[in-house]
């Protein structure tokens, strides 16, 4: 195996382990994992179309990306200072705000994509 391929596989492995660590250590990551499974299951049950899957998967990815970046920022701030500092708080709060924006987008996308077919199934 080439040196390049070995480095790439190691990088992929380390990134995957970091995601798993975040899921184990962060309550919100576990919530997003459950929400992801539920949304995908409902999407499969409702047999949503290809374009709808793009919206759902894009929204899911946006939340996961924001939450992973938020976790990285929180850990970095905690590493840099143990003091309660206004800038440390602002950094953490801003990162959490990014997660909130992504989550609100995901909720809206989920309601728009899954709401009508779900309602049709319920009212039959």
**How many Å apart are CA 68 and CA 61, to the nearest integer?**
10
Q: Is 48 annotated as a binding residue?
A: yes
* Backbone angles phi and psi of 65, in degrees to 5: -60, -50
Query: Do 48 and 117 contact (CB within 8 A), yes or no?
Result: yes
Task: Single out the catalytic residue among 32, 43, 59, 67.
Answer: 67
Q: Is 8 annotated as a binding residue?
A: no
Q: Is 112 annotated as a binding residue?
A: no
Q: Is 67 in the active site? A: yes
Which positions ≥6 away from 15 have C-beta within 8 Å? Answer: none
Q: Is 114 annotated as a binding residue?
A: no
Q: Is 67 annotated as a binding residue?
A: yes
Q: Is 46 annotated as a binding residue?
A: yes
Give the active site residues. Answer: 67
**Binding annotation for ATP:** 26, 74, 83-85, 92-93
Binding residues for a divalent metal cation: 26, 74
Annotated binding residues for substrate? 45-48, 67
Binding-site members are 26, 45-48, 67, 74, 83-85, 92-93
């Amino acid at each position: 195996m080439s040196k390049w391929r070995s480095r790439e596989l190691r990088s992929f492995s380390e990134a995957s382990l970091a995601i798993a660590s975040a899921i184990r250590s962060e309550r919100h990551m576990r919530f997003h994992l459950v929400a992801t499974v539920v949304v995908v299951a409902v999407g499969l049950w409702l047999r949503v179309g290809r374009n709808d899957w793009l919206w759902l998967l894009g929204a899911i990815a946006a939340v996961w990306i924001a939450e992973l970046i938020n976790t990285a920022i929180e850990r970095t701030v905690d590493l840099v200072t143990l003091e309660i500092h206004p800038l440390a708080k602002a950094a953490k709060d801003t990162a959490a705000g990014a997660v909130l924006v992504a989550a609100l987008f995901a909720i809206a996308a989920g309601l728009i994509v899954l709401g009508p077919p779900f309602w049709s199934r319920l009212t039959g």
